[in-house]
Amino acid sequence: MEIVVVSDSHGRIEVLKQIRDRHPDADAYIHCGDSETDEAHLDSFVSVQGNNDTYYDYPQFRVIDLNTEKLLVIHGHQFYMGTRVKEIAQRAKNNHCTMAFFGHTHVFLSTIEDGVLIVNPGSVYMNRDGTPPCYALIHDHEGKWKVERMIVPNVAPSQKKRWF
């Protein structure tokens, strides 16, 4: 099984198409919010509402059944920075999810918190840590989940300074 997870595209629909074309056989395409576009332009990505999606009617979070897995998708702006990962893991567990995907920070993250795989794919537009725009590719590798950070092709890294 292969899952493509993106976030924070902020209106750059051409990048979503590039990523979709790069992984034509994925089992799921997930957008963690701040697409700033309507569903017709998401090219098969299932999305949630980000803090910049005020003009679009997406749910605040989704629980997706994918084969034997349940996935929580949420933007992440609803949680304080210091407790965000822990609170997302708890929300995932409350919904019987084994994985949780979130965005908002524009910084890639892959960790396990309280038995839940937590992934922030970074931003396909601009990462706040100065790294190139990216997304996550998650696939089953010999019975375990492998998370890969994928660089968005043909997009220059942000020239902004780090936000630390």
| Domain assignments of the chain as residue spans, ordered by start | 2-151
Q: How far apart are the first and last CA of the chain?
A: 36
Residue matched to tokens 């957008």: 31
Instruction: Read off the pLDDT band of 164 (50, 70, 90).
Output: very low
DSSP state of 152: P
Half-sphere exposure of 83 (CA within 13 A, CB side): 6
When pLDDT is cut at 50, 70 and 90, the band that residue 78 belongs to is confident
pLDDT at 142: 81
Task: Give residue 84's pLDDT band: very low, low, confident or very high (50, 70, 90).
Answer: very high
CA distance 105 to 75: 9
Q: Is the dihedral of CA 37, 38, 40, 46 positive or negative?
A: positive
pLDDT category of residue 81 using cuts at 50, 70 and 90 = confident
Is the pLDDT higher at 142 or at 84? 84
Q: The whole model's pTM is what? A: 0.92
CA–CA dist 78, 81 (Å, integer): 9
Joined together, the tokens standing for residue 110 give 């892959």
Whether the pLDDT of residue 162 is over 80: the answer is no
CATH of domain 2-151: 3.60.21.10
Q: Tell me the mean pLDDT in the region 127-151.
A: 94
Burial of 77 (0-12, 13-18, 19+ CB in 10 A): middle
Question: CA 46, CA 66: separation in Å to the nearest integer?
Answer: 12
What pLDDT, in 10s, does the model give residues 22-74?
Answer: 999 999 999 999 999 999 999 899 999 999 998 999 999 999 999 889 999 99
How crowded is the C-beta side of 20, counted as CA atoms within 13 Å?
A: 15
Alpha helices, DSSP H, located in the chain: 13-22, 84-94
C-alpha span between 34 and 21 (Å, rounded): 21
User: Whole-angstrom Cα distance, residue 120 to residue 104?
Assistant: 8
Average pLDDT over residues 113-141: 95
Q: Are 122 and 76 in contact (CB under 8 A)?
A: no
